[in-house]
Amino acid sequence: MPEIKIVTEVAGRICALPVEIGRSIGDGEDIVFVEAMKMEIPVAAPAAGRLKSILVNIDDVVAEGQVLAIMEI
């Protein structure tokens, strides 16, 4: 199955991981929330598929462009 890397467009701190590994996810569904400048910014799935892995944990600090999760389509 093809894989898609889900990346963040902002630097910040991981504040929520609302989906579990292995779950089917819809196009545009929020996968991770990054706290930046006192706002929670959602990182959404770019396509429908299955969440294969999450590469970050709550309170991790991430950089712009960092891969947060991998999904299979």
pLDDT digits (tens, 9 = 90+) for 24-67: 999 999 999 999 999 999 999 999 999 999 999 999 999 999 99
- Domain annotation for the chain: domains and CATH numbers: 3-72 (2.40.50.100)
Average pLDDT over residues 8-16: 97
Per-residue pLDDT, 1 = 76
Contacts of 28 (CB under 8 A, 6+ apart): 44, 45
Token pair of 47 as six digits:
């396509």
The position carrying tokens 């006192």 is 38
**Residue 61 to residue 28: CA distance in whole angstroms:** 23
